[in-house]
Amino acid sequence: MNIRLARVTDDLMAMQAGNLVNLPENYNQKLWIYHLMTWPQISFVAEDPKGRIVGYVLAKITEPDEAEEDAPTGGDAGVTHGHINSLSVFRTYRRLGIAKKLMLQSQHAMATVYRAKFVSLHVRRSNTAALGLYRDALGFDVSQIVAGYYADKEDAYAMKLVLSP
């Protein structure tokens, strides 16, 4: 399995296809293009030996002077941080450590390229696999419960991990 930077020219369709299959939260193509072109160093894909995309992480950076819509709690205004928009791995490739590797690569790039102080994300309360990954394997903490965050009104855990300089 190869983990490499996502390329807007080659990977957009495959990443979006993975997102549609694996998650109910989907985004229009403009958002994918915007993220990959604005922060090209922090989104990654996993490809199998034939070059097929089997997983991805899509991430963004929030600068100090921007709205804190993704910040997990108040009090983080003025801090450059990363945010994970979407992460998924195709079912037959799960529990092989792919998501963990994608996250670690993205986190490292956030800290080194953008000097991001922490990374945030939202996850459904019922998503035991993702919670296992974020909390147990990567060390994220729940910083807030956001009631009715998702379109179907399920609550989200807002999670946060402080990044090493």
Task: Return d(Cα 41, Cα 18) in angstroms, integer.
Answer: 20
- DSSP result, 3-39: EEE--HHHHHHHHHHHHHHH-S----HHHHHHHHHHS
Tell me if 112 sits within 8 A of 48, measured CB to CB.
Answer: no
24 scored as a contact of ligand ACO (CB under 6 A): no
The span from the CA of 29 to the CA of 148, in Å, is 25
How many Å apart are CA 87 and CA 15, to the nearest integer? Answer: 10
- Candidate list 12, 23, 79, 146; residue touching ligand ACO; CB under 6 A: 23
From candidates 71, 110, 111, 123, binder to ligand ACO by CB under 6 A: 123
C-beta of 115: minimal distance to ligand ACO in Å?
Answer: 22
Q: CB under 6 A: which stretch of 65-73, 79-87, 109-117, 140-148 binds ligand ACO?
A: 79-87
Contact call for residue 106 and ligand ACO (CB under 6 A): no
For ligand ACO, the closer CB: 50 or 91: 91
Q: Which residues are at the interface with ligand ACO (CB under 6 A)?
A: 22-23, 84, 86-89, 94-100, 121, 123, 127-130, 132-133, 136-137
